[in-house]
Amino acid sequence: MIMVSAVKWVDEVTSDAPYAITEDFMRKLFDEYNIDYIIHGDYPCILPDGSDAYALAKKVGRYKKIKRTEGVSSTDIVGCMLLCVRERSTGDSHNRSSLQRQFSHGRSPKSESGGSGSGTRISHFLPTSRRIVQFSNGKGPGPDAPVVYIDGAFDLFHAGHILRLARGLGDFLLVGIHNDQTVSAKRGAHCPIMNLHERSLSVFACRYVDEVIIGAPLEVSKNTITTFNISLVVHGTVAEDNDFQKEKGNPYAVPISMGIFKLLESPLDITTSTIIRRIVSNHEAYQITTFNISLVVHGTVAEDNDFQKEKGNPYAVPISMGIFKLLESPLDITTSTIIRRIVSNHEAYQIADDLATPTFGAVK
């Protein structure tokens, strides 16, 4: 509700909307809200029984279809989140390939080959100048307008971001969006989930934002403050990277020294990481329900038996559901012990072979 209400093109939000358009709800839209048309994207919305969710609206001639934005897919984004968590917590190539089959997103070639670099998915969204203009307010700050600046990754733009509060501190809100390389360097190769242009337009769609710097520098410099006539720099109390004050290179050192930095109380205890964990947890619970799993087991002897000490425990969901059991392994054998045994036997064979080979002296 908070996020939808903050979109600049939204006038009013109703919270009791059913998934399928019913006769009663359609009457309510027409009579109470004075709605002219019911609109949906240009892709089918089919119910479990095979019927069209918008059949009633189409029947009365009050349905309109709009073209879906090319290259934007929530399925791809969710797939990327699931894949990133698997890569971080287990490094399991089987889980990785399984998720890649489930979701259609791409990855950078460097990431596929196991190299370093950003793990940001390859987006098919192509921003154009016309599209950016559609999101723009088309106006700058007034001559004496107090300009408030806030920066960050703004990955998976969510209700925890404090733009409404920041906007209330001045007449013009300028938001700096860090580029993909900066976010990866701070948060790891699995971030950001969304690329720079996707994150920028997500922020630009917020009614409280007046202007966006696409690819803003991490450090808020004197030059940035002067160029954009910034009166106040703000940062939320809840954020992924809130250790900046303990860091050697504090990115807010300049505005702090100028007395124009303010730490704002975040409205909600939400970060991109908490959203990712929630989605992953829901996905795992969905899998357990879908496949009617009664018990999840794991051996006491395994390559990856430190999972209980890890931050991202892959068995957290079945443990919380009370359907996880640790089984006593019959033998103290793992793939690594077998490999070590084979290597040891091979080395012993080579030594024996060398000893058995006669050494001939030089022929005079």
Q: For residue 192, say if its preceding peptide bond is cis, omega within 30 degrees of 0.
A: yes
For residues 223 and 231, what is the distance between their CA atoms, to the nearest angstrom?
13
Is 121 a member of any domain? no
- Could you list the beta-strand ranges (E) of 251-300: 261-264, 296-299
pLDDT at 348: 82
The domain in which residue 62 lies consists of 2-66
For residues 12 and 202, what is the distance between their CA atoms, to the nearest angstrom?
19
| Pair 192, 302 in one domain | no
> Count H helices, E strands: the chain?
15, 9
For residues 227 and 211, what is the distance between their CA atoms, to the nearest angstrom?
14
End residue of a domain, out of 245, 264, 283 = 264
Q: Token pair of 77, please?
A: 């984004």
| Pair 169, 254 in one domain | yes
Give me the CATH number covering residue 251.
3.40.50.620
| Contact (Cβ atoms closer than 8 angstroms) between residue 106 and residue 121 | yes
Nearest to residue 302, comparing CAs of 334, 273, 258? 334
What is the four-CA torsion angle of 94, 99, 101, 105, rounded to 10 degrees? -130
| Pair 94, 216 in one domain | no
pLDDT at 114: 38
Which residue has tokens 């408030």? 148
- According to DSSP, the β-strands at 38-41 and 63-66 are parallel
| Pair 143, 252 in one domain | yes
Q: Token pair of 58, please?
A: 């189409």
Other CB atoms within 10 A of residue 46 CB: 10
| Contact (Cβ atoms closer than 8 angstroms) between residue 267 and residue 211 | no
For residues 143 and 263, what is the distance between their CA atoms, to the nearest angstrom?
26
| Pair 133, 206 in one domain | yes
Region for 229 from its dihedrals, namely left if φ exceeds 0, alpha if ψ lies in -120 to 50, beta otherwise:
left
Is 272 a member of any domain? no
Is 283 a member of any domain? no
| Contact (Cβ atoms closer than 8 angstroms) between residue 7 and residue 135 | no
| Pair 180, 106 in one domain | no
For residues 207 and 205, what is the distance between their CA atoms, to the nearest angstrom?
6
| Pair 316, 205 in one domain | no
Other CB atoms within 10 A of residue 280 CB: 21
For residues 60 and 22, what is the distance between their CA atoms, to the nearest angstrom?
12
Nearest to residue 73, comparing CAs of 108, 42, 46, 104? 104
pLDDT tens, per residue, the chain with 364 residues = 788 888 999 999 998 899 999 999 999 999 999 999 999 988 889 998 999 999 999 999 999 999 877 767 677 777 777 776 665 554 444 444 444 444 434 444 344 333 334 444 556 677 788 888 888 888 889 889 999 999 999 988 877 677 889 999 999 999 999 999 999 888 777 788 888 998 999 999 999 999 999 999 999 999 999 999 999 999 988 766 666 666 677 999 999 999 999 998 887 777 777 777 777 777 777 677 777 788 888 888 877 777 666 566 778 778 888 888 888 888 888 888 899 899 988 888 888 777 776 665 555 4
| Pair 50, 151 in one domain | no
pLDDT at 290: 72
Is 350 a member of any domain? yes
| Contact (Cβ atoms closer than 8 angstroms) between residue 233 and residue 227 | no
- Longest alpha-carbon distance in the chain: 115
| Pair 231, 314 in one domain | no
Number of domains comprising the chain: 4
Strand, coil or helix: what is 216?
A: strand
| Pair 258, 137 in one domain | yes
Q: Token pair of 340, please?
A: 């070590």
Is 330 a member of any domain? yes
pLDDT at 96: 42
Nearest to residue 252, comparing CAs of 210, 217, 227? 217
For residues 17 and 28, what is the distance between their CA atoms, to the nearest angstrom?
10
Is 284 a member of any domain? no
| Contact (Cβ atoms closer than 8 angstroms) between residue 288 and residue 64 | no
Is 117 a member of any domain? no
| Contact (Cβ atoms closer than 8 angstroms) between residue 200 and residue 177 | yes
Is 234 a member of any domain? yes
Q: Token pair of 72, please?
A: 């934007």
| Pair 46, 142 in one domain | no
| Pair 152, 246 in one domain | yes
| Contact (Cβ atoms closer than 8 angstroms) between residue 235 and residue 263 | yes
pLDDT at 39: 95
pLDDT at 360: 58
For residues 294 and 284, what is the distance between their CA atoms, to the nearest angstrom?
14
